[in-house]
Amino acid sequence: NKQVVLKHFVVGAPKETDMEFREGKTSLKILKGAEGAILVKNLYLSCDPYMRGRMREYYESYIPPFQPGKPIEGFGVAKVIDSTNSNFSVGDYIVGLTGWEEYSTIIMTEQLRKIEILDVPLSYHVGLLGMPGFTAYVGFNEICSPKKGDYVFVSAASGAVGQLVGQLAKLHGCYVVGSAGSTQKVELLKNKLGFDDAFNYKEETDLAAALKRHFPEGIDIYFDNVGGSMLDAALLNMRVHGRVAVCGMVSQHAVSDTKSISNLYTLVMKRVRMQGFIQSDYLHLFPQFLQTMVNLYKEGKIVYIEDMTEGLESGPAAFVGLFSGKNVGKQVVHVADE
């Protein structure tokens, strides 16, 4: 059972050398005493920026840190190959937290979901129809108070969450501009994902001026995936009664963007509402989300871009790549075929 193990707690941006491979024991049967468990073959593993948070020794968070010497874990799609749990049968596909390894025994099955929608690629259940898609859905609908005609700005716009936020905003009748870190991503936003406009933030010397250029009348909704200087620049460009949904601050994991936020006074001047959120507080909306998103996808109203790497061995590099923008779309690792 090949595994990806955390070597030590991480400082700054994660590196491939913070993780290592190990050959663990393989048992294709659930060991005696593990009642209520399932044994799964992992098929797809999701790379998500929040996992960096779990590589820290101690932090106040909604989820505990990884343990050095143990396989890291994350969202994945897997197939049940043995079960002592009456809710899951051999042959079922599940999505939920699993180990970065070929086979995992999962004892805490409460948060696992049996996959019922099988006529889309299985990997979509960790993206479009999984946690990132749900984040886009609740972040936009529940936090942004969107109205038709709103001016919407999305950062890390071609990523897992951003690409869907932009498209949901377009379906809502908003004007949407995205920022991303390469020409290729900007082209995708404009030509494939239906954004009204997009820009490469790495080519801008003055982010506030870039936003002013794209939003001469100001921003109604900023969906913030990155924090740091982009957040500060967006604050300067908010309209009266604008909303800032603070989804994540991926720029703050690396040490490259340490500028502190200096434009918070605009919250008062422009009566802006700025609100952080965590998708898991809204799980009661998950069934509604799943139905809506799968319908939009099947009707061709939502496009979804994945970046798939091959083999468990490719996992650490794929994960680390999130923090320098190597991924084009939702980063997933294909571990095995069914």
Q: Which residues sit at the interface with ligand NDP, rule CB under 6 A?
A: 48-50, 132, 135, 156, 159-162, 180-182, 185, 225-226, 247-251, 254, 256-257, 277-279, 322-323, 325, 327, 330-331
Output the smallest distance, CB 26 to ligand NDP, in A. Answer: 31
Q: Which is nearer to ligand NDP, 76 or 159 (CB)?
A: 159
Q: Which is nearer to ligand NDP, 34 or 246 (CB)?
A: 246
Token duo for residue 55: 């590589």
Q: 3-class DSSP state for residue 53?
A: helix
Q: How far apart are CA 6 and CA 83, in angstroms?
A: 28
A 10 A CB-CB count for 65 gives: 15
Q: Which is nearer to ligand NDP, 6 or 322 (CB)?
A: 322
Give 5's strand partners.
20, 71
Q: Which is nearer to ligand NDP, 20 or 197 (CB)?
A: 197
Output the smallest distance, CB 227 to ligand NDP, in A. Answer: 7
Q: How far apart are CA 107 and CA 73, in angstroms?
A: 14
Q: Which is nearer to ligand NDP, 39 or 235 (CB)?
A: 235
Q: Which is nearer to ligand NDP, 29 or 259 (CB)?
A: 259
Query: Which among 34, 42, 151 is positioned nearest to 100, based on CA atoms?
Result: 42
A 10 A CB-CB count for 267 gives: 15
Q: Which residue is nearest to ligand NDP (CB)?
A: 159
Token duo for residue 8: 């030590």
Token duo for residue 249: 């601050």
Output the smallest distance, CB 305 to ligand NDP, in A. Answer: 10
Output the smallest distance, CB 229 to ligand NDP, in A. Answer: 8
Q: Determine contact, residues 329/34, Cβ cutoff 8 Å.
A: no
Q: Determine contact, residues 329/305, Cβ cutoff 8 Å.
A: yes
Output the smallest distance, CB 252 to ligand NDP, in A. Answer: 8
Output the smallest distance, CB 330 to ligand NDP, in A. Answer: 6
